[in-house]
């Protein structure tokens, strides 16, 4: 399967379709762990930790988990030579609807992640690192544990790695399957054995994270790109993509395309060209969710001029998010799509913040009423008002993500909602509002 466009280097996907690419022997044939060689010209262990951090900063790589924060800058925040240990935590709790690109890395090229963790661990002074994996990903968990065993046996993990005096242990931590644990502070709470709920910030994890110690939380894809960066140099990576969105990115595309799957493209590629790489849209394009369920939907007209980079998506009022691209054609019902999303966010709310706990459930029940033919005139405005009330009023962005999904669909596809209300049995009658209101739902 062709996963990259012409003239695009395979930074992340080179082993995705190689037989047994997940094993150390095959991965080593393709360069795995070569950056960790010692002696003259050593690219990692022969250099200072600060030089490595500055190379990551110079590459321009931004976090691939959703926020797009510059990775090198995040690393710079970590205090040095403190009394407390520094921890590295890999966020592999890939739970955003439509997102499955990290699955591929863990399943088909886990050694790129492990090598990247060794590079990051050395640069940050980490002695203990964790991979926090969504609990349902049993095949990926088995692959990671097998790859870690191979890395230990080869001397790339444990004490005195390759005679350098550097020690690093990596553990796979299986989560309990809560979407909220994709948020870094909820992930840290769950890692510690506490309830998976977000923490107030500050303090930020880089200062006080896991076990009240400095902690760097990075996405799987971010760390897996490090071996390529240190093989070819930060300038080569920065030359890919755009000036503000350097490098390549993995996108998981599903929905109404001929060849759904995971593709690696340089950031800045026109969205329509990306659709063509995935076999083209089946039917007439109606719209596209560009970055997972938390990213506001785009109309078909907006897709015409959109490019796959952080800046363009921001200008369009949406974001690349987790890299889950979901184009849909005119046979799909946007009202039913929003119903699925509001149900998801209502179900996945951790319940810690009242606006999210009550508001997302309330919005979901009103959308359900509209779909069931029990809507009333003014429900569209009411749902939007609910979303406005819980947007940016909570500790973490889960409620805000729901509000963005609601706002996007109501704005771009209003006529579909009006059609439901026009056919409603109760549009001019009294509805049992009490059955939809908060109270007794949790």
**Residue 200 belongs to some domain of the structure:** yes
Q: Token match 């926090």: residue?
A: 132
Cα 211 from Cα 213, distance rounded (Å): 5
Work out the pLDDT band at 235, boundaries 50, 70, 90: very high
User: Any residues with CB less than 8 A from the CB of 56 and at least 6 apart, and which?
Assistant: 71, 72, 75, 123, 226, 229, 234
User: Is it the case that residue 437 has pLDDT exceeding 70?
Assistant: no
SS3 breakdown of the chain: % helix, strand, coil, rounded to 5?
45, 15, 45
Asked which of 181, 211, 238 is the last residue of a domain, the reply is: 238
Tell me: do 421 and 322 sit in the same domain.
no
Task: Write down the pLDDT at residue 294.
Answer: 86
**Residue 363 belongs to some domain of the structure:** yes
Are residues 286 and 300 in contact, defined by beta-carbon separation less than 8 angstroms? Answer: yes
CA separation, residue 357 to residues 10, 97, 346, 394 (Å): 42, 20, 7, 10
Cα 337 from Cα 250, distance rounded (Å): 24
Task: Write down the pLDDT at residue 82.
Answer: 84
Average of per-residue pLDDT values in the chain: 93
Element holding 413 (H helix, E strand): none
Tell me: do 320 and 339 sit in the same domain.
no
Cα 297 from Cα 303, distance rounded (Å): 10
Are residues 116 and 52 in contact, defined by beta-carbon separation less than 8 angstroms? Answer: no
Asked which of 308, 329, 350 is the last residue of a domain, the reply is: 329
- The partner residues of 86 in beta bridges, in order of sequence, read 126
Q: What DSSP line would sit under 209-246, residue for residue?
A: -GGGS-EEEEEHHHHHTHHHHHHH-HHHHHTSB-SSSB
Cα 90 from Cα 128, distance rounded (Å): 12
**Residue 213 belongs to some domain of the structure:** yes
Task: Write down the pLDDT at residue 441.
Answer: 40
Paired tokens of 33: 């762990």
How buried is 436 (Cβ within 10 angstroms: 0-12 exposed, 13-18 middle, 19+ buried)?
middle
Tell me: do 84 and 194 sit in the same domain.
yes
Sign of dihedral through CA atoms 427, 430, 433, 435? Answer: negative
**Residue 292 belongs to some domain of the structure:** yes
Work out the pLDDT band at 17, boundaries 50, 70, 90: very high
Residue 158 is given by DSSP the state: B
Tell me: do 64 and 204 sit in the same domain.
yes
Tell me: do 343 and 286 sit in the same domain.
no
- The partner residues of 33 in beta bridges, in order of sequence, read none
Tell me the average pLDDT across 262-273: 96
* Peptide bond preceding 203 in cis form (omega within 30 of 0): yes
User: Any residues with CB less than 8 A from the CB of 293 and at least 6 apart, and which?
Assistant: 96, 97, 98, 324, 341, 344, 345, 401, 405
Tell me: do 292 and 339 sit in the same domain.
no
CATH code: domain of residue 50: 3.40.50.11540
Tell me: do 275 and 232 sit in the same domain.
no
> What's the domain count of the chain?
3
Cα 434 from Cα 442, distance rounded (Å): 15
Q: What DSSP line would sit under 46-62, residue for residue?
A: TS-HHHHHHHHHHHT-B
Dmax (CA) of the chain = 81
Q: CB atoms < 10 A from the CB of 57, how many?
A: 17
Beta strand residue intervals within 1-72, DSSP E: none
Q: Is the pTM of this model over 0.75?
A: yes
Task: Write down the pLDDT at residue 442.
Answer: 38
User: Is it the case that residue 415 has pLDDT exceeding 80?
Assistant: yes
Tell me: do 145 and 60 sit in the same domain.
yes
Tell me: do 194 and 278 sit in the same domain.
no
Task: Write down the pLDDT at residue 428.
Answer: 58
pLDDT digits (tens, 9 = 90+) for 42-100: 789 989 999 999 999 999 999 998 778 999 999 999 998 889 999 999 999 998 899 99
- Domain span at residue 88 reads 24-238
Task: Write down the pLDDT at residue 38.
Answer: 81
Task: Write down the pLDDT at residue 432.
Answer: 65
- Which SS3 state, helix, strand or coil, does residue 404 take? helix
User: Is it the case that residue 355 has pLDDT exceeding 50?
Assistant: yes
Are residues 307 and 269 in contact, defined by beta-carbon separation less than 8 angstroms? Answer: yes
Element holding 134 (H helix, E strand): none
User: Is it the case that residue 249 has pLDDT exceeding 60?
Assistant: yes
Cα 289 from Cα 323, distance rounded (Å): 10
- Half-sphere exposure in the Cβ direction for 148 (13 Å, CA): 18
pLDDT digits (tens, 9 = 90+) for 168-209: 999 999 998 899 999 999 999 999 999 999 999 999 999 999
Of 324, 300, 320, 321, nearest to 312 by C-alpha is 320
Residue 262 is given by DSSP the state: E
pLDDT digits (tens, 9 = 90+) for 27-47: 999 999 999 988 766 789 989
Tell me: do 101 and 131 sit in the same domain.
yes
Work out the pLDDT band at 440, boundaries 50, 70, 90: very low
pLDDT digits (tens, 9 = 90+) for 372-387: 999 999 999 999 999 9
Paired tokens of 158: 């444990």
User: Any residues with CB less than 8 A from the CB of 283 and at least 6 apart, and which?
Assistant: 256, 329, 330, 331
Task: Write down the pLDDT at residue 330.
Answer: 97
Task: Write down the pLDDT at residue 434.
Answer: 59
Work out the pLDDT band at 406, boundaries 50, 70, 90: very high
Task: Write down the pLDDT at residue 43.
Answer: 84
More confident residue, 322 or 405: 405
Task: Write down the pLDDT at residue 42.
Answer: 76
Cα 93 from Cα 170, distance rounded (Å): 16
Distance of CA 59 to the CA centre of its chain: 20
Please report how the helices 110-124 and 138-153 are oriented relative to each other, as an axis angle in degrees rounded to 10.
Answer: 60
In the chain, the percentage of residues whose pLDDT exceeds 90 is 88
Cα 322 from Cα 253, distance rounded (Å): 11
Tell me: do 28 and 81 sit in the same domain.
yes
Cα 375 from Cα 368, distance rounded (Å): 9
Tell me: do 101 and 36 sit in the same domain.
yes
Tell me the average pLDDT across 267-287: 97
More confident residue, 41 or 216: 216
Task: Write down the pLDDT at residue 197.
Answer: 96
In the chain, the percentage of residues whose pLDDT exceeds 70 is 95
């Amino acid at each position: 399967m062709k996963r990259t466009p012409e003239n695009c280097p395979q930074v992340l996907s080179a082993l995705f379709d190689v037989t047994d690419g997940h094993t150390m022997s095959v991965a080593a044939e393709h360069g795995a762990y070569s950056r960790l060689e010692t002696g003259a010209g050593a690219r990692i262990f022969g250099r200072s930790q600060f030089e490595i951090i500055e190379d990551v900063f110079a590459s321009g790589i931004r976090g691939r988990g959703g926020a797009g924060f510059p990775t090198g800058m995040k690393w710079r925040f970590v205090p040095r030579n403190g009394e407390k240990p520094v921890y590295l935590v890999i966020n592999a709790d890939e739970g955003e609807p439509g997102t499955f690109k990290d699955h591929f890395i863990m399943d088909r090229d886990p050694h790129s992640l492990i090598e990247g963790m060794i590079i990051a661990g050395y640069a940050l002074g980490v002695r203990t690192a964790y991979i926090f994996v969504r609990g349902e990903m049993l095949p990926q968990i088995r692959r990671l544990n097998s790859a870690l065993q191979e890395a230990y046996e080869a001397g790339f993990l444990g004490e005195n790695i390759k005679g350098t005096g550097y020690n690093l242990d990596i553990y796979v931590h299986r989560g309990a399957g809560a979407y909220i644990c994709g948020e870094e502070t909820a992930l840290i709470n769950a890692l510690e054995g506490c309830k998976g709920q977000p923490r107030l910030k500050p303090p930020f994890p880089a200062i006080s994270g896991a076990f009240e110690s400095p902690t760097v939380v990075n996405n799987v894809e971010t760390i897996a790109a490090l071996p390529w960066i240190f093989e070819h140099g930060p300038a080569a990576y920065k030359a890919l993509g755009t000036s503000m969105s350097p490098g390549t990115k993995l996108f998981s595309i599903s929905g109404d395309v001929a060849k759904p799957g995971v593709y690696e493209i340089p950031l800045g590629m026109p969205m329509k060209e990306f659709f063509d790489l995935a076999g083209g849209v089946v039917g007439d394009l109606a719209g596209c969710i560009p970055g997972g369920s938390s990213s506001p939907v785009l109309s078909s007209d907006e897709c015409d001029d959109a490019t796959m980079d952080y800046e363009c998506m921001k200008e369009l009022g949406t974001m690349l998010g987790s890299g889950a691209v979901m184009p849909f054609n005119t046979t799909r019902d946007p009202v039913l799509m929003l119903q699925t999303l509001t149900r998801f966010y209502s179900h996945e709310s951790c319940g810690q913040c009242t606006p999210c706990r009550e508001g997302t459930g309330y919005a979901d029940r009103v959308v359900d009423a509209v779909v069931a033919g029990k809507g009333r005139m003014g429900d569209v405005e009411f749902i939007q008002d609910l979303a406005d009330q819980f947007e940016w009023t909570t500790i973490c962005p889960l409620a805000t993500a729901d509000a963005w999904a609601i706002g996007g669909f109501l704005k771009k596809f209003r006529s579909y909602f009006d059609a439901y209300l026009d056919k409603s049995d109760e549009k001019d009658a009294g509805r049992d509002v009490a059955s939809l209101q908060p109270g007794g739902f949790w």
